Structure 1
Amino acid sequence: MMPSAADPIAPMLAKAVDAVPEQGGKLGALNYEPKWDGFRAIVYFDGETVEIGSRGSKMLTRYFPELVEAFTRLLPGPCVLDGEIVVRSGEQGHEKLDWEALSQRIHPAASRVATLSVATPAMFVAFDLLGAGDESYLERPFGERRAALDELVGGLGHPVHLSQTTTDPALAARWLVEFEGAGLDGVVAKPLAAAYAPNKRVMLKVKHHRTADVVVLGYRMHTSGTGVGSLLLGLYTADGALANVGGISAFTDVRRRELIDELAPLVTRDAKGDPVRGATERSRFSGSKDVSFVRLDPTLVVEVRYDQLEGQRFRHTAQFDRWRPDRDARSCTFEQLERPVSYDLNEVLA
């Protein structure tokens, strides 16, 4: 029986690797495709009604009415699609993915959802077919599922698209570099013989990894109330302003407690000797989370690993690499960051 929204299926996941894997390894023949940076979504269409499931348990249907309309109008019959919801921006010939615009689409007000569906319409990039008609495709090998997907979706038109694929690892390695300029964040390799494995890391993903020297602006306490939960990071702009670019976390219990003592001499204090606190901008994803932090004298430099930049912030949480006592904080500027060459999103779509 074909999967349904009444019993939503968890998407198949990917395991991180350091480089584009070659053909002929233990996973057998591989198919490579771009790694999209959007909302993972499984679309359920029973011939009349559309539901859009997320990677978690939350349904995304109400946030993307333009996609619901398009699926209802374009899909030829009942099916279940796995893919990514993305928003594009930029001038024609220089379009790229726009994560900020996509994140704004998750809004509690129906009126705002309706407005954004017109102002920043989403599109869906399909990369797997989990069922069609009344038949489940979960046990079929990916090569067979992908061929059926191409036949089903290939000619539907905007806003339903197919992701490019190749079996050439050299071309996939080129995509890893070129497609970043269109806002994508890596390459995925899928075993052609593998069945669909919900919530299992069967696929392989290669993402960009870079390092940067950044200034530690402050810290947030851990949710347990003991020790440092995360460090806030900054970089100097061309006009000398210190901009918040993200954070690092994932410290062990022991290390969290050690950091409290190590950072104590750098804590900024008021006239009474109390720590000065600041707060980062609250977003729709922070909810009721405490966004306050303890300010530090901006002299401590840390080297971090990151994958990509979105505007003036790291797209994902950075990873601690090492302290840099040899670096002057004022030398930590945006100029050190590698910027990908612009690449038109239309060249990425199949």
Structure 2
Amino acid sequence: MTTAKPSGAGLPAGFAPPVKVALARVVTTLPRTTATQTGNLSYEPKWDGYRCICIRDDNGATLWSRQGKDLTRYFPELVAATEGAVPPGCVIDGEAVIWTQGRLDFSALQQRLSAGPKTLPGLVRETPANYTAFDLLAVAGHDARELPLNQRRALLEELASGWEPPLSLSPTTTDPDLAARWFEELPRTGIEGLIIKRSDQPYAGGVRNWMKLKHRETVEVVCGAVIGPITQPSEIVAGLILEGELRIVGRSTPLKTAAGRELARWLQPPRSAHPWPKTVKGTTLDRFNRDKEPVTLTLVEPVVVEVSADTAWSGRSFRHPLRLVRARPELSPADISLPDMLGPAVH
């Protein structure tokens, strides 16, 4: 791994990249502060972008992913803004995001990481990135990780008081009713849900002390294939009509035996030529390539199914597995369009 600039001068010990980030565990309901709990709960949007540690030292600014990848060269506008607005000796935790037509655009972020030196400047001009900060690990050359969240947040707000785009401060609230409204209203902009933290917690890198509540919706998709036998499928392969064609957009979580048997009632072999091949790359079904080897599909006559999906949509596919709710054989596959919650498709 190569570093864009030497890093570490003017920083406290322990901040040579990569820096371990705080993590979150999944919860299924909105937690609220209880009488026996120490510290209030703080609620923030869960951004659909690249988790990004920003290190500002005496030599300039560098950006690092959660996995320790140097992202500095991919976001020159964020580096320039940080060097102009953040003094040396600071380490910030946040998210690099791109907005397109009022919605977070994860696909545009992915294009940054595959761009070469000739194409990157055009992407920076056409789809500029933003950095949304939500925590502070070091300030003025002092390690802030042992401070409770409410004190770190106060320091971050002071640091960000003069910021202008592309730098911004992630909103936060201790009001659970406002957080509940955020949870219902913000997913239409691509926000994935909420991150919940205790106000008295220190910053614990590598530890799942935070909580995350992801927003899910039920939507209709087309089951054009399954994995496993048609009489007892183990997963569905979901499709949507994009650019006039039925395209694979994701897969489901493994089906329980009873659910697979119930779905099988509505599955038939294709009655005519099928738009999908019998074998696909693992990345066709899952961008994280859960299957490194090619995956064999059992093609079926397309049938509509209802699934539970979160708002993580790349522009061409769901980024997380779907959960089968039920078959909808009374609906026509030709009438199933891209759900409004997912925003526009990438062309």
Q: Deviations over 1:142-195 (max 9, x none)?
A: 000000000012212111100111111111111112222322121222100001
> Aligned in 2, Cα 1:305/1:192: closer, same or farther, shift over 3 Å?
same
**AA at the equivalent of 1:82:** D
> Aligned in 2, Cα 1:59/1:333: closer, same or farther, shift over 3 Å?
farther
Distance in 1, matches of 2:300 and 2:221, equals 13
**AA at the equivalent of 2:167:** V
Matches within 5 A, 1:89-108: 89-90=100-101, 95-108=102-115
From 294, 299, 318, the equivalent of 1:296 is 299
Matching of residue 20 in structure 1 with residue 30 in structure 2: yes
Distance in 2, matches of 1:184 and 1:3, equals 35
Q: CA RMSD in A?
A: 3.9
Aligned length: 322
Matching of residue 233 in structure 1 with residue 238 in structure 2: yes
**Which secondary structure state, in structure 2, belongs to the residue aligned with residue 296 of structure 1?**
strand
> Aligned in 2, Cα 1:323/1:164: closer, same or farther, shift over 3 Å?
closer
Matching of residue 246 in structure 1 with residue 250 in structure 2: yes
Q: Deviations over 1:74-117 (max 9, x none)?
A: 21222000000001122xxxx23222212211115122222212
**AA at the equivalent of 2:27:** V
Q: Deviations over 1:236-262 (max 9, x none)?
A: 58x98534332224579x99xx99xx7
**AA at the equivalent of 1:55:** R
Q: 1:110 matched to which residue of 2?
A: 117
Distance in 2, matches of 1:178 and 1:3, equals 42
Matching of residue 42 in structure 1 with residue 26 in structure 2: no
> Aligned in 2, Cα 1:250/1:196: closer, same or farther, shift over 3 Å?
farther
> Aligned in 2, Cα 1:169/1:339: closer, same or farther, shift over 3 Å?
same
> Aligned in 2, Cα 1:2/1:163: closer, same or farther, shift over 3 Å?
same
Distance in 2, matches of 1:171 and 1:277, equals 48
Distance in 1, matches of 2:13 and 2:130, equals 23
Q: 1:345 matched to which residue of 2?
A: none
Q: 2:90 matched to which residue of 1?
A: 79
> Aligned in 2, Cα 1:147/1:291: closer, same or farther, shift over 3 Å?
farther
* Contact kept in structure 1, 2:240 and 2:338, CA below 8 Å: no
> Aligned in 2, Cα 1:286/1:129: closer, same or farther, shift over 3 Å?
closer
Distance in 1, matches of 2:13 and 2:182, equals 32
**Which secondary structure state, in structure 1, belongs to the residue aligned with residue 301 of structure 2?**
coil
**AA at the equivalent of 2:162:** G
* Contact kept in structure 2, 1:122 and 1:159, CA below 8 Å: yes
Q: Deviations over 1:199-229 (max 9, x none)?
A: 22211222212223433223569xxxxx989
Q: 2:324 matched to which residue of 1?
A: 321
Q: 1:224 matched to which residue of 2?
A: none
> Aligned in 2, Cα 1:14/1:229: closer, same or farther, shift over 3 Å?
same
Matching of residue 187 in structure 1 with residue 175 in structure 2: no
Gap regions ≥5 residues in structure 2: 1-10
Distance in 1, matches of 2:114 and 2:234, equals 28
> Aligned in 2, Cα 1:339/1:134: closer, same or farther, shift over 3 Å?
closer
Counting aligned pairs with the same residue, the percent is 32
**Which secondary structure state, in structure 1, belongs to the residue aligned with residue 112 of structure 2?**
coil
Matches within 5 A, 1:97-246: 97-219=104-226, 231-235=236-240, 242-246=246-250
* Contact kept in structure 1, 2:85 and 2:162, CA below 8 Å: no
Matches within 5 A, 1:31-70: 31-70=42-81
Q: 1:347 matched to which residue of 2?
A: none
> Aligned in 2, Cα 1:69/1:336: closer, same or farther, shift over 3 Å?
closer
> Aligned in 2, Cα 1:42/1:230: closer, same or farther, shift over 3 Å?
farther
The farther-off stretch of 144-153 and 315-324 is: 315-324
Distance in 1, matches of 2:236 and 2:134, equals 37
* Contact kept in structure 2, 1:2 and 1:134, CA below 8 Å: yes
TM-score relative to the length of structure 1: 0.77
Distance in 1, matches of 2:149 and 2:58, equals 24
The farther-off stretch of 307-316 and 41-50 is: 307-316
**Which secondary structure state, in structure 2, belongs to the residue aligned with residue 201 of structure 1?**
coil
Gap regions ≥5 residues in structure 1: 222-226, 342-350
Matching of residue 277 in structure 1 with residue 278 in structure 2: yes
* Contact kept in structure 1, 2:48 and 2:106, CA below 8 Å: yes
* Contact kept in structure 2, 1:81 and 1:126, CA below 8 Å: yes
Distance in 2, matches of 1:312 and 1:62, equals 24
The farther-off stretch of 45-54 and 164-173 is: 45-54
Distance in 2, matches of 1:231 and 1:3, equals 50
Distance in 1, matches of 2:195 and 2:299, equals 40
Distance in 2, matches of 1:40 and 1:144, equals 22
How far apart are 1:36 and its partner, in Å? 1.0
If asked which structure has higher relative contact order (CA below 8 Å, sep 6+), I would say 1
